Structure formats: structure tokens, C-alpha cells
């Protein structure tokens, strides 16, 4: 359920929160495979993009129990990032006025590990993969 669907998020062209949610719902089949399993940082604009927004990573308190999360270590503690696995999660992001969705390059349960792949300049061979750990 989208609260305040009439809220204007893009004042120059009049795009509302309800229209953003409809767009997210439309692109869900294409977008979800890229989001699935990746920690998300939300860039939220609760007064629309004409006013300053803020970044939110932690969803440990006051968020729906059905929303998946991953606990990630940080200096001095942990943070709980949301994980979007379905259309409902994507619509939840729209309801939070999350216009920009920042996703990690890695997937849970090991969000501190990235797999990189590179190829020779000649393009020969299958390429090599290497895992790298992020320093906490």
C-alpha cells in the first residue's frame, strides 16, 4: 500500500509518489534480478527532489518484519541493510520516497566479498575470476 500517492516528488514535471510506485511495479521483472540478494542503501527524498534528501542504510527498527535484511559489520558495530527480493519490496522502497536505490556489487550472505572478472586485451580465453575481501 502506497501512502500519500499524490505527493509530488518531481516538482518540475509533476511526477507523484504513486507514479513512482507504478513505474517501480512496471520495471520489477527487469530490475529485481539485479537487486536480488544485494544490500541496499536508500536515498530518500521525503519532500521531493527539490529539497535535500538523506541516505538510509539501517532498517533495524520500525520497518516491516517481512522485509529481508542483512547484517553487515561496520566500525564500532553493525548495520542492517534492506534486501529486496520481490515486487512488494520494490514498492516498499517507493513508499519510503527512495528515488535512488544504491545496491552493493556483492550479494548476501557475504556482502564484504566481491568477485571480479577480467579479460585479456586480445579477448582470448574465458577470463579469470578473483575474490576480494572488503576491509572492515
- For the chain, domains (ranges, CATH) are 8-133 (3.90.920.10)
> What pLDDT does 122 receive?
54
> What pLDDT does 134 receive?
46
Reported pTM: 0.76
At residue 135, does pLDDT exceed 90? no
Q: Per-residue pLDDT averaged across 29-46, rounded?
A: 94
Q: Can you give the C-alpha Rg of the chain in angstroms?
A: 17
> What pLDDT does 74 receive?
84
| pLDDT mean across residues, the chain | 84
Q: Per-residue pLDDT averaged across 108-118, rounded?
A: 58
Q: Which residues of 42-72 are buried (b: 16+ CB within 10 A; e: fewer)?
A: beebeebbeeebeeebbbeeeeeeebebbeb
Amino acid at each position: 500500500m502506497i501512502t500519500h500517492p499524490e505527493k509530488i516528488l518531481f516538482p518540475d514535471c509533476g511526477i507523484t509518489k504513486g507514479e513512482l510506485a507504478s513505474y517501480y511495479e512496471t520495471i520489477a521483472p527487469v530490475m529485481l534480478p539485479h537487486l536480488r540478494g544485494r544490500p541496499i542503501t536508500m536515498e530518500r527524498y521525503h519532500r521531493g527532489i527539490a529539497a535535500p534528501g538523506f541516505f538510509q542504510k539501517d532498517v533495524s527498527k520500525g520497518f516491516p518484519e517481512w522485509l529481508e535484511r542483512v547484517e553487515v559489520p561496520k566500525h564500532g558495530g553493525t548495520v542492517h541493510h534492506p534486501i529486496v527480493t520481490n515486487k512488494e519490496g520494490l514498492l516498499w522502497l517507493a513508499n519510503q520516497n527512495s528515488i535512488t536505490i544504491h545496491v552493493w556489487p556483492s550479494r548476501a550472505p557475504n556482502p564484504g566479498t566481491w568477485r571480479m572478472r577480467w579479460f585479456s586485451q586480445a579477448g582470448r580465453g574465458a577470463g579469470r575470476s578473483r575474490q576480494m575481501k572488503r576491509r572492515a
